[in-house]
Structure formats: C-alpha cells, structure tokens
Structure 1
Amino acid sequence: MSPEYAMEGICSTKSDVYSFEVFLLEIICGRKNSNFYDLDRPLNLIGHAWELWNDGEYLRLLDTSLSDTFVPEEVQRCIHVGLLCIEHYANDRPTMSDVISVLTNKYELTTMPRRPAFYFTREILEGETTLKVSDCDTYSTTTISTS
C-alpha cells in the first residue's frame, strides 16, 4: 500500500507504481512482503532490499531456487527500478510507462533510489515483536505481542 494511501487515504496513479514494486520484489526474492523475515537483517522486505542495494549485495535478494538461471544485469535493473517505485513522495516515483521502458531496456536508469517510505526493523524479545517504523526521518515504535 502506498504511503499516501496508507497515511492520508489519497490514491494516485503512482499508488499502483508503489504496489507493483512490492510485487516485483516478492517475485525476485520468492517470499511475500507480509511473511518476510531474515534473521541476519531483521527488516521488512522493502528495508531488506534497500540495505542489500546500498551494500552492493543486491543479488542476495534473489530466490535461491533460481540458482544460475538469471542475468545479473536484469536483476539489478529490476531492483533498481523497484526501489525508485517506492520513493516516499508519489511525484518522485516513475510512471508505469517509464517502468515498462526501463524493464524492456529501452530507457537507461540514471536516477539513484533514496531510502524507501516504509522502512522498518523488527526486534524479537521474549515473545514480543517490536516494530521500529521509519517514514523518512520520523520514527515511531509499536509493540506487538506474539504467542
């Protein structure tokens, strides 16, 4: 769900771009955004993708069942455009036609992605999961008990 819809109930043409990116990342890593958890990096899928991209380790995001059946440059292009699609402000995201052009190699990416809108970490402490949500530079903490 795009930030503008989740926070303000405003749906824009760029809301679909945001949702498409999440779907694209789910395909790349082979896991659902809602079920994503990595012990090495306790982040949501968006945060995990962002950190791997920044560390230059974006290929670690790939579903292990893909083995060597992928082209690294195509994966990089998909993740790069995906991270551009989750910019905080809708006006900063590309249009779907731009996304399609990038994915079909008709358009060269020159813009570097910035930290995504919904970037949060998870800490598990004795039966409680704490979510530290970061929306740009604003942080809030919510505790969710699990049983």
Structure 2
Amino acid sequence: MEGVCSTKSDVYSFGVLLLEIVCGRKNNSFYDGDRPLNLIGHAWELWNDGEYLKLMDPTLNDTFVPDEVKRCIHVGLLCVEQYANDRPTMSDVISMLTNKYELTTIPRRPAFYVRRDILDGETTSKVPDIYTYSTTISSSCEVEGKV
C-alpha cells in the first residue's frame, strides 16, 4: 500500500493464496450475496463467527480433514494481518503448516479488510472509523477521507 515491498509482502501474498486454495476461488472473483465481502473479509468474519468450515470449497464434500482446514485458514489469516510486523516469517509459516502443535497466536484484523453493505441495490464499502485520515492538499485546503 505504501509502495514498499518486503518479505512480509510475500507472506501476505502467500496468505491470500492459502485462503484461495481453501475456498477454491480466486481472490478477485470472490463475492457472496449473503456476506458481501472480499475474500479476506469473508474468511475473517467466518473465523470470528466460528464458522470457518463454510469457507471450504464445496466440491471437496467430505474429503478433507477439518483440523487441517482450520490450520490452513488460521495460518492464512495470520499471514494477512494488517501490520506487516505482526505477520509470521515464511519459515514460521512452514513450521505452522507442517507441525501438529496447537497454534496459540490469534489472528487480528487483516489488511485490506473491507466490508461492503448493500443499500437499496447499491454496494458501498465501509471501513472502520479508526482508518480515518487527514491529508493536506495545499497550504490552505485540508481534505478528510477514509483509507
């Protein structure tokens, strides 16, 4: 978002890829009429509601291990956390995915979490007020907006 790429940018991308694999859909083609969110927002809300298995690709039917799916979603959400410093390293990601120990780190709000509400047939994006910013455009003009 700030134009600075780092190893944590790669971790974020891997997290999105992991969530795409679990749900069987691309991030840019994701839309659910019942929960109008982007993929990351949809995964985040299902996780918080304890309904993370609803994220699964429906074509898999019962051919998956629920604990492994939970682990993949958990790790995916850790990878897409809002602040890059809070994201795990790739070596930690590999360890979390390959070892069977219980994950104790709780995912926090992901980056680019945008909730869309449908009002009278129109879709609007909502971002929490904590992301309000103020930008000075000229010495005499100030504009407020949402990130």
What TM-score, normalized by structure 1, do the two folds share? 0.83
Task: State the percentage of identical aligned residues.
Answer: 76
Q: Distance in 1 between matches of 2:100 and 2:64?
A: 20
Q: Which runs of 5+ in 1 are unaligned?
A: 1-5, 143-147
Which letter does structure 2 place at the counterpart of 1:74? E
| CA-atom RMSD in angstroms | 2.1
Give how far 1:128 is off: 4.1
Aligned equivalent of 2:53: 59
Aligned equivalent of 2:126: 132
Give how far 1:121 is off: 1.8
Q: Distance in 2 between matches of 1:141 and 1:30?
A: 31
Which letter does structure 2 place at the counterpart of 1:119? Y
Cα contact 2:131–2:146 (8 A) shared by 1: no
Choose from 3, 13, 19 the match for 2:7.
13
Q: Distance in 1 between matches of 2:6 and 2:32?
A: 32
Which letter does structure 2 place at the counterpart of 1:133? V
**Segment drifting more, 90-99 vs 119-128:** 119-128
What TM-score, normalized by structure 2, do the two folds share? 0.83
Q: Distance in 2 between matches of 1:87 and 1:120?
A: 13
User: How many pairs were matched up?
Assistant: 135
Choose from 77, 80, 90 the match for 1:96.
90
Structure with higher Rg: it is: 2
